[in-house]
């Protein structure tokens, strides 16, 4: 089975963000595969380069990077959601005249068309959103 994931939950505020990561980690060690992971809305906060978890909490950013490496898969952020929250890559920072990028590797900016392509190549699409 091929999965595409849409993560919309803030990793610091919503348990479903951790559920998305755990699901991705499980898929990475199974016979199934991930065709894409797309972060949108508050879900993009996981890619904030200067965000550091307290010592007694898991480093979700590092764990996502491991999933990316294990699956040879980019971790893509909705460009509009990222820019609204101050997340920029090197080229965007230079274009805007900012001193530095705020986007941690291996995360990258992408448009919604990227997620649509992931959806088309997946057998299942799972959404992990914030609870209302």
pTM of the model: 0.93
CA–chain centroid gap for 85, Å, is 14
Q: What is the pLDDT of residues 53-105, one digit of tens each?
A: 888 888 999 999 999 999 999 999 999 999 999 999 999 899 988 888 999 99
Q: What is the pLDDT of residues 37-46, one digit of tens each?
A: 999 999 999 9
Identified catalytic residue from 14, 47, 78, 104: 78
Tell me how far apart the alpha carbons of residues 86 and 21 are, in angstroms, rounded to a whole number. Answer: 23
- Which residue has 């530095």 as its token pair? 100
Look up the CATH number of the domain holding residue 77.
3.40.1260.10
HSE-CB at 89 with a 13 A cutoff on CA atoms is 13
Rounded to 5 degrees, what are φ and ψ at 113?
-60, -35
Q: What is the pLDDT of residues 121-131, one digit of tens each?
A: 999 999 999 76
User: Domain count of the chain?
Assistant: 1
- Domain containing residue 54: 2-128
HEC readout, the chain: CEEEEEECCCCCCCHHHHHHHHHHHHHHCCCCEEEEEEECHHHHHHHECCCCCCCCCCCHHHHHHHHHHHHCCCEEEEHHHHHHCCCCCHHHHHHHCCCCCCECCCEEEECHHHHHHHHHHCCEEEEECCCC
pLDDT of residue 110: 97
Q: Residue 14 catalytic?
A: no
Among 23-27, 118-122, 126-130, whose mean pLDDT is lowest? 126-130
Average pLDDT over all residues of the chain? 93
């Amino acid at each position: 089975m091929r999965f595409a994931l849409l993560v919309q939950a803030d990793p610091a505020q919503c348990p479903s963000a951790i559920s998305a990561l755990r699901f991705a980690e499980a898929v990475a060690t199974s016979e199934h595969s991930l065709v894409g992971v797309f972060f949108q809305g508050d879900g993009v906060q996981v890619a904030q380069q200067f965000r550091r978890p307290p010592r007694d909490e898991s480093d979700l950013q590092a764990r996502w990077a491991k999933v990316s490496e294990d699956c040879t898969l980019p971790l893509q952020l909705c460009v509009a959601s990222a820019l609204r929250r101050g997340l920029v890559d090197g080229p965007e920072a230079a274009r805007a005249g900012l001193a530095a990028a705020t986007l941690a590797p291996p995360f990258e900016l992408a448009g919604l068309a990227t997620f649509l392509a992931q959806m088309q190549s997946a057998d299942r699409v799972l959404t992990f959103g914030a609870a209302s």
